[in-house]
């Protein structure tokens, strides 16, 4: 399979390097000799001199076939571009590869010049010799804001094929620009499009090992896109494995298992993937309660319980009942689902985050935090939200999807989840202590530990089974409780801890980890215990960098 890199000739790097100083240099220190260098460096005064005094033409190309308008467009000099157009420059003039000035604006995302060109008659759908339109160039260089601008304001087609059948989504996926992929999917770009080699955007993302781009495509796609084969008969997962991208291969293979059915029969264990392990956990809790009451507290083979042991025993049972109640609450409660939008607007009236009420088509309001776009739910979501592929919803202050409660943990049910963990840990701790006390105080005349252990297993099997299950549950519950308590004290989620490197808002000016929502131990804990969550708009730092996922 050939790499598309060899075919990219859109304002190539060599052309950019010729003018790399143009955005950083001082025009007064540069030796400007003609209209092309004057346009490239944005020196309008000298450009006027060349045109109005020396009579040079702005409609002719330089020795390489490039026009002064192209150089001004590449470097985003809107005033120079306007002057060139007003003094004879052809807004649709094409170089030797049929690229226009508008193509060149997309390389660096020159929105101001693009407005000048398009308002003066530039053809937004003009294609070069490779079939690349401006949207292809923007996708190849990851200019997401520019791409959105020409789509929303000028109606550019966001899903056209080039001469090889590759759409902008193909290029964004291949280059690994996840934000561009996200925007195109949000705009309903079709990710099932095949190029001349039978490759979809997911194939190209897999070839390059772009994990984040693959993740976005998988979450927004279907099982069919995972199973599509190219002309050589390879699926995206097979291509990733062949190229040595193990993380991508694992991601795609796992996605196929999640989408697929693991049985030959229609009646199978596939329900576990949908329902999760909540029924299993419910069964374990009930079994522990029954064993504790029948085999520890009221077992006829044990001596009669004392008042103190009985009191603590029934306290443990009461805590187990509270655990069941909280289990039901955090399993059935809305974790903070963000309803899907209608026409680009959310229909949630109770969410204060202004981004949720922004119309993406109004480019004067949308500033480009592209990670907040959900291509699946078609909403603009709060920064700390995330789309859960299992629940198929975006969740506010997403913490994690817990299969043991068959629900996400988010803004609206995290308090219930934490209380559930605390109650479970406390009840299992009391149960273990009482079971050990009952077993330890069992009067025996046995001479060795081996015979004592055999006696306990044969005479009190229920108590032994309970103790083993309870201790395992205690350690698991304690570990989860400590982890959640630590995160609450720092006002950070499990998802943010696991993916800190991917979230720009979790990094300070020097690139080091910094949580803008951490207000200190006391306030973090107080807000959580009182309200059940913290307000996202109350950030501890003056700036909030954009997130990358």
Alpha-carbon distance of 130 to 193, in angstroms, equals 18
Coil/strand/helix, residue 300 = coil
Cβ distance 338 to 377 under 8 Å?
Answer: yes
Alpha-carbon distance of 160 to 150, in angstroms, equals 14
Q: How many helices (H) and strands (E) does the chain have?
A: 24, 7
Tokens of residue 529, six digits: 């215990």
**Cα 80 vs. chain centroid, distance in angstroms?**
40
395 backbone dihedrals φ, ψ, rounded to 5° = -125, 130
Alpha-helical segments (H) within 209-355? 211-220, 223-227, 236-242, 246-259, 271-275, 278-291, 307-332
Cβ distance 305 to 434 under 8 Å?
Answer: no
Question: Which DSSP letter does residue 509 get?
Answer: T
Burial of 306 (0-12, 13-18, 19+ CB in 10 A): exposed
Burial of 214 (0-12, 13-18, 19+ CB in 10 A): buried
Tokens of residue 311, six digits: 């009191």
**Cα 188 vs. chain centroid, distance in angstroms?**
18
Among 330, 374, 402, 422, the one annotated catalytic: 402
CA distances from 410 to 341, 385, 441 (A): 20, 9, 45
Coil/strand/helix, residue 477 = helix
- Please confirm, yes or no, whether 525 is among the known catalytic residues: no
> CA angle at residue 268 from 267 to 272, to 5 degrees?
130
Alpha-carbon distance of 158 to 76, in angstroms, equals 22
Alpha-carbon distance of 202 to 164, in angstroms, equals 16
Alpha-carbon distance of 362 to 227, in angstroms, equals 37
CA distances from 372 to 13, 59, 172, 179, 199 (A): 31, 43, 18, 9, 28
Q: Could you report how far apart the first and last alpha carbons of the chain are, in Å?
A: 30
**How long a stretch of residues is the chain?**
549
Half-sphere exposure of residue 467: CA atoms within 13 angstroms, side-chain side: 18
The arrangement of strands across the sheet holding 337-338 comes to 337-338, 393-395, 386-388
**249-271 in b/e burial notation, b at 16+ Cβ within 10 A?**
bebbbebbeebeeeeeeeeeeee
* Strands of 45-132, DSSP E: none
Active-site residues, by number, are 402
């Amino acid at each position: 399979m050939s790499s598309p890199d060899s075919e990219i000739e859109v304002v190539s790097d060599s052309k950019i390097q010729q003018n790399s100083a143009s955005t950083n240099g001082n025009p007064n220190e540069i030796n400007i000799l003609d209209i092309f260098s004057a346009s490239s460096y944005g020196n309008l005064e000298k450009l006027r001199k060349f045109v109005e005094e020396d009579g040079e033409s702005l409609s002719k190309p330089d020795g390489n076939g490039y026009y002064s308008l192209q150089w001004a467009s590449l470097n985003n000099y809107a005033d120079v571009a306007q002057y060139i157009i007003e003094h004879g420059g052809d807004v649709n003039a094409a170089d030797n590869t049929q690229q226009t000035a508008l193509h060149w604006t997309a390389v660096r995302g020159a929105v101001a010049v693009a407005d000048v060109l398009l308002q003066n008659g530039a053809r937004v759908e003009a294609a070069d010799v490779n079939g690349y339109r401006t949207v292809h160039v923007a996708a190849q260089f990851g200019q997401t804001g520019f791409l959105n601008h020409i789509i929303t304001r000028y109606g550019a087609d966001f899903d056209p094929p080039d001469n090889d059948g590759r759409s902008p989504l193909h290029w964004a996926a291949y280059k690994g620009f996840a934000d561009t992929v996200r925007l195109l999917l949000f705009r309903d770009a079709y990710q099932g499009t095949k190029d001349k080699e039978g490759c979809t955007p997911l194939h190209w993302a897999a070839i390059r090992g772009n994990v984040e781009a693959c993740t976005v495509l998988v979450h927004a796609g279907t099982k069919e896109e995972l199973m599509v084969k190219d002309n050589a008969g390879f699926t995206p997962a097979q291509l990733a494995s062949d190229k040595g991208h193990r993380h991508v291969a694992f991601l795609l293979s796992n996605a196929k298992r999640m989408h697929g059915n693991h049985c030959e029969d229609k009646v199978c264990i596939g329900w576990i993937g949908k329902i999760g392990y909540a029924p299993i956990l419910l069964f374990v809790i009930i079994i522990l309660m029954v064993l504790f009451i029948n085999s520890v507290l009221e077992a006829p083979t044990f001596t009669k319980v004392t008042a103190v042991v009985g009191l603590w025993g029934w306290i443990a049972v009461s805590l187990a009942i509270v655990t069941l109640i909280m289990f039901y609450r955090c399993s059935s409660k809305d974790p903070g689902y963000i309803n899907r939008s209608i026409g680009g607007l959310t229909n949630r009236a109770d969410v204060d985050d202004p981004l949720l009420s922004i119309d993406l088509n109004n480019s004067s309001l949308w500033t480009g935090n592209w990670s907040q776009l959900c291509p699946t739910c078609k909403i603009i979501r709060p920064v700390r939200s995330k789309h859960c592929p299992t629940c198929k919803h975006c969740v506010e202050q997403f913490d994690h999807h817990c299969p043991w409660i068959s629900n996400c943990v988010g803004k609206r049910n995290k308090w219930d989840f934490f209380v559930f963990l605390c109650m479970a840990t406390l009840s299992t701790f009391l149960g273990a202590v009482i079971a050990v006390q009952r077993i330890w105080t069992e009067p025996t005349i046995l001479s060795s530990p081996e015979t004592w252990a055999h006696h306990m297993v044969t005479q009190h099997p229920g108590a032994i089974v309970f103790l083993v299950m309870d201790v395992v549950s205690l350690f698991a519950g304690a570990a989860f409780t400590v982890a959640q308590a630590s995160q609450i004290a720092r006002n950070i989620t499990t998802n943010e801890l696991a993916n800190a490197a991917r979230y720009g808002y979790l990094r300070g000016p020097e690139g080091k980890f910094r949580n803008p929502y951490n207000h200190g131990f006391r306030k973090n804990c107080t807000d959580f215990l009182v309200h059940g969550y913290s307000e996202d708009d109350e950030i501890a730092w003056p700036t909030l960098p954009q997130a990358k996922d």
